[in-house]
Each structure stands twice: as C-alpha cells, then as structure tokens.
Amino acid sequence: MERELDYKAIGKRVKIARIKADMKQEHVAEKSGLSPTHISNIETGTTKASLSAIVSVANAIGVTVDDLLCDSLIHARPQFEQDIAELIEDCDDYEIRMVKDITEALIATLRRDAHLRQ
C-alpha cells in the first residue's frame, strides 16, 4: 500500500525546525542551495518538495529527514516520542497529571475501539 506524502505536515515541521534553529528562510535557502521562494512554498505545503530538496533543507537546518517526514512514515515512533517529550517538558505538576490521565483514557478508548481502525 503506497502512502501519499503529507506536504503540509512536512512544511509545518520544516518551519518549526527552522524557527527552533533560529534561522530565517533566507538563511536556510542559502545553506540548502534552494531559493527563498522555494523554502516558503515547502513550509506552506504548496509545492511537492523533492527528496533532494528535503535532504538539503534537513542538512541546512541540522535535523534528520525523519524529523521532517515522520508524519508520512508508518514507523516513526522515536520521533513521535520525542515530540511528546517536548510538548510536556515545561508542564507543571498539575498539567503533567492531566496529560497522563487524558492519555490513559485515550489509550483505553483506542484499544477498546481498535476494531474500528479496519
């Protein structure tokens, strides 16, 4: 089964990674050999970025291709675990407890209704 790439999700991850790296689109463009317009189009998901463009952007920003493509990968557990860890790293005790309780309820519901995935 072929899975379609989610270019909007890839673009969102590129933008987030670029911002975390404190880089402007122009700097990513310069380091990747792509035009600033192309970087902008990748970030908005309005273009279907080639594999070579994604690799160039990942290298320019200093992230892995998996970091950018994980929403389109079936086996991307480590990346999603890292995303979850980043989401909760600045939570206070109350927020952590609520996230844990909600996650526990969500997992129970997902497993109870697993037959609906088919």
pLDDT digits (tens, 9 = 90+) for 20-63: 999 999 999 999 999 999 999 999 999 999 999 999 999 999 99
16 to 40, 100, 112: CA distances (angstroms): 13, 25, 34
Q: In the predicted model, what is the mean pLDDT of residues 3-10?
A: 84
- Residue 5, phi then psi, degrees to nearest 5: -70, 140
Task: Using pLDDT thresholds of 50, 70 and 90, give the confidence band for residue 78.
Answer: confident
pLDDT of 83 strictly over 60: yes
Regarding pTM above 0.75, the answer is: no
Task: Using pLDDT thresholds of 50, 70 and 90, give the confidence band for residue 2.
Answer: low
CATH number of 1-72: 1.10.260.40
CA nearest neighbour of 88 among 98, 76, 77, 78? 98
Cα 17 off chain centre by: 8
